[in-house]
Amino acid sequence: MRNFATYDGPPAYKPWRAPLRTPTSVDHLLAGYTPKRLSIPVAMIDRPYFHNQIPWAVELTGTTNSLAIGGKPQAGKTTFLQTLIVAGARTHAPKDLQFFCLDFSSGKLRPLEGLPHVASVATRIEVARIRRTLAQLTAIANFREKVISDHHGLDWASYLQERHNPQHLASRDPYSDIVFIIDGWDNFTTDDWLPDDAIQGEHDKYIEQVTSLARRGANIGIHLAIGLNRWTALRTTIRSSIGLKIDLSPADINDTGIELTRVVNEIPPKSPGRALSTHAKDYDGIEDAYMHLMVGAPRLDGLDTMAGIAQTFATTVATITEQWKNETSFPPKMEMLPAHLSYADVTTKAPPAKHEDPEHLRWSLPVGLMESTLEPLVLNVMQDPHVLVFGENDSGKTQDLHTIAKAITDRNTPQQVKFVVIDYDGDLEGAVPDEYMAPSATLNDGTVASTYIRNSLELEKSAPLIRAGLEPRRQPANVSKEDRARHSWWSGPEIVLLCDDWHQVITQHPLQYSALQAELAEFIESRTSGFHFIAACHSAQFYTLTSLNKGALGVAWNRGGHVLVHSGNKDEYPGKEIPIRKRRPGEALYIRRRQQRDTVQIAQLP
């Protein structure tokens, strides 16, 4: 005993390490770590067989392309996802790895939005940003699949190489490997976060978009990372695409499955961040499935604690931004549909058209931007001749008419198009240059029937003349397909009836809801008469007019065309098939048969 008391040699070997009780900061996790593409250290793993504890990394490749982490509230799911972002941004250049995030949990992903790697973070109350995120990722996936399909033999690794070739289509893709994070999956899969005036089937569409991304992601560089309370909330269609599953302390022990109940029970209670990986990873010939993990702390200041973590994010973002400041290219932040949009902003993005171009080009009218793609909204009024605009006062519907008229006159000469304008309030003054107006006519009593109609009396005089002018365009019987395509039985300009405040027209017209039906219905229903009905109406009349299918507007609705629904009161249209909600001026829901509905912003003229 005396000899042991004075022993000054090496300490005895300790085969067991201290329990995993505190998180390891990201900078400590990365100390001595050899960088590897899509390998992101996020935790410490206890390896009893080797008598050590080492950094544990998720490998977003192969069968573990996507991951999910499950556990009860406050178990550490958000911390894991924060650590994934911080460690991923620390080990990968912004051009090599990006993050798109939906935060349906605590809102604690938002402080990391400033990282150059993070394209966007949307919380549950930011419905427009959620829509935009899903639309952006879907557009990216579609583009990548098309490029890979069009270039036979191209796989994802080859695609990444071709992104550096300016002659290759892949070079147009500003992103590379994308991690799509959804924190709070259980909340996302319920529809109680949507507004009361949500479109019917809108929530199902979002779930379908995520499911599609999960299914296709492995081949196109899109990786899901989901945080959820209960594994039963993960639908089978998505579960099959999640190769890596990590268990924290469960919300319900029965939710883990019979085969995992015993091992999950080994997670110490009241130990946030303690987890088990259910995916076997080979370390020196020994698999680490069901070994204990301690999720790392998303910080770079060397402190192995979660205490005061919120105060460290600004410094962490600044440190990582400084690290990559000399990079030559950075992925763009996700853009939102702008609240204010000039006509020039749209026309510079749209295909140009000259007066001598074919009709289908001259009558493809760029009038706004679509939220789903941020590409121009182009109204093909040669294929679908009519445009209907609904909205409350000051919602932007009259501005729509100005913009549409501008698009028409920019692309057509006065010999190619003539306008008749119904404008009881005078708000369309200046929308149509004089040389584009159809000529007025002198009646038998010496009075003039104007084609710029300002009240119901003038409309009563002019309506028969409008019909008389269209009468020669009535399609004869037995017309061949070729003759119909070039409307060989008539010649002359296209005719546009531009009407503001249709609700005033029906109020003051003797036939009210059936206004102008007798004169115009036949030509509205025809696609070969060269006639276009473009009208704006108060949203309070939307349901009545479209359900009755009466009057010029009702006939145009029934025929199908382009519809823009601006701001209004939700009770103005029963049901959810066509939602009316409060929107900012100029924003509208775009509806067209055979086409996916989309939120759009209509351009404004100076």
Binding-site residues: 71-78, 391-398
Return the structure tokens found at 139.
């557009």
Q: How far apart are CA 396 and CA 584, in angstroms?
A: 9
Q: How far apart are CA 170 and CA 176, in angstroms?
A: 10
Edge to edge, what strands does the sheet with 587-591 contain? 376-380, 364-370, 598-602, 587-591, 562-565, 387-391, 531-538, 494-499, 417-422, 452-453
φ, ψ dihedrals at 4, nearest 5°: -65, -35
- Which single residue is written with the structure tokens 């002018």? 469
Q: Would you say 589 and 565 are in contact if contact means Cβ atoms under 8 Å apart?
A: yes
Q: Are strands 531-538 and 494-499 parallel, antiparallel or unpaired?
A: parallel
Distance (Å) of CA 157 to CA 64, 176, 215 = 16, 10, 18
Q: Which of 58, 46, 51, 49 is nearest to 22 (CA)?
A: 46
Q: Are strands 177-183 and 244-247 parallel, antiparallel or unpaired?
A: unpaired
Question: Which residues, listed in sequence order, are joined to residue 565 by a DSSP beta bridge?
Answer: 390, 589
Angle at 396 between CA 529 and CA 379, to 5 degrees: 35
Q: How far apart are CA 422 and CA 507, in angstroms?
A: 14
- Which single residue is written with the structure tokens 């990582």? 320
Residue type, 211: T
Q: How far apart are CA 332 and CA 384, in angstroms?
A: 36
Angle at 91 between CA 88 and CA 96, to 5 degrees: 75
Q: Would you say 296 and 56 are in contact if contact means Cβ atoms under 8 Å apart?
A: no
Residues 6+ apart with CB under 8 A from 299: 25, 26, 27, 86, 309, 312, 316
Residues belonging to the binding site for ATP are 71-78, 391-398
Return the structure tokens found at 489.
């039985």
Residues 6+ apart with CB under 8 A from 598: 370, 371, 372, 377, 589, 590
Q: Within 10 A of 348 (CB to CB), how many other CB atoms are there?
A: 11
Return the structure tokens found at 415.
């010999």
Q: Within 10 A of 140 (CB to CB), how many other CB atoms are there?
A: 20
Long-range contacts of 284-290 (CB under 8 A, 24+ apart): 284/50, 286/47, 286/49, 286/50, 288/45, 288/47, 288/56, 290/263
Residues in the chain: 606
Burial class of 453 by CB neighbour count within 10 A (0 to 12, 13 to 18, 19+): buried
Q: How far apart are CA 169 and CA 146, in angstroms?
A: 10
Return the structure tokens found at 362.
């001259």
